[in-house]
Amino acid sequence: MNKQKLIEKFDKQSAIYEENTRKRMMGSWRKRLLEGVQGDVLEIAVGAGANFPYYDMDRVRLSAADFSPMMLQRARRIADELNLQVTLIESDIETLDFPAHSFDSVVSTLSLCGYDDPKQVLRNIGRWCKPGGQVYLLEHGLGRNPFFKSAQRLLNPAARKISGCNWNRDIEQIVRNSGLQIEHMERYWNGMIHLIWARSV
């Protein structure tokens, strides 16, 4: 999908993302994933700030990026309401760049479904992390159940067109092939939801 059309699609969906943020959608998983985050932290594809309520701002200096200006407007509103200090960056994650070893931790939730080359995004994350830096992922992908996997593959073209997401990605394999070291992983919803704690090497 053309990148500008994808940005426009997420701009149009930003109100739904903000509503889900206020409802604390997937809140228990987000809280579990982020409870150990500390230091200089980058969150990519921040959306409307769904993770903001779960950061311990006494331990975190947060930067957050997204390519959708409407998402960032809504993320700013959420951050202000939470009295959260965050540097927001408007950028396409696939062209974003930072000097090597810029961050202690990088966070991505529900973003690997949208990139043309998710492995390269993860390689970039590994480079942006300090040596041994932590990577926190909450992603959706192919489940364990053969029936659901077949359905995900069959419906993927429609899902991509409607929401901008791919439903047919093997998240665990993508992470392993990126060079990140998986330290712990949990899977839910018949294996379709992945919580992954990884480390740069």
| Model pTM score | 0.94
Give the residue among 120, 95, 123, 115 at the shortest CA–CA distance from 200: 123
Cα 36 to chain centroid distance, Å, stands at: 17
Name the region of 45 (left: φ>0; alpha: ψ -120 to 50; beta: rest): left
β-pair partners for 186: 195
What pLDDT, on the 0 to 100 scale, is given for residue 161?
A: 84
pLDDT for the residue numbered 1:
62
Q: What is the pLDDT of residue 170?
A: 95
What pLDDT does residue 94 have? 94
pLDDT tens-place values along the chain, 201 residues long: 688 888 998 999 999 999 999 999 999 999 999 999 999 999 999 999 999 999 999 999 999 999 999 999 999 999 999 999 999 999 999 999 999 999 999 999 999 998 999 999 999 999 999 999 999 999 999 999 888 889 889 988 888 888 878 889 999 999 999 999 999 999 999 999 999 999 998
Q: Residue 104: name the closest of 62, 56, 58, 49 by CA.
A: 62
Q: How far apart are CA 93 and CA 120, in angstroms?
A: 11
DSSP assignment letter at 52: G
Q: Which of 108, 134, 115 is nearest to 40 (CA)?
A: 134
Burial bucket for residue 127 (CB in 10 Å: 0-12, 13-18, 19+): middle
Q: Helix, strand, coil proportions of the chain in percent (round to 5)?
A: 40, 25, 35
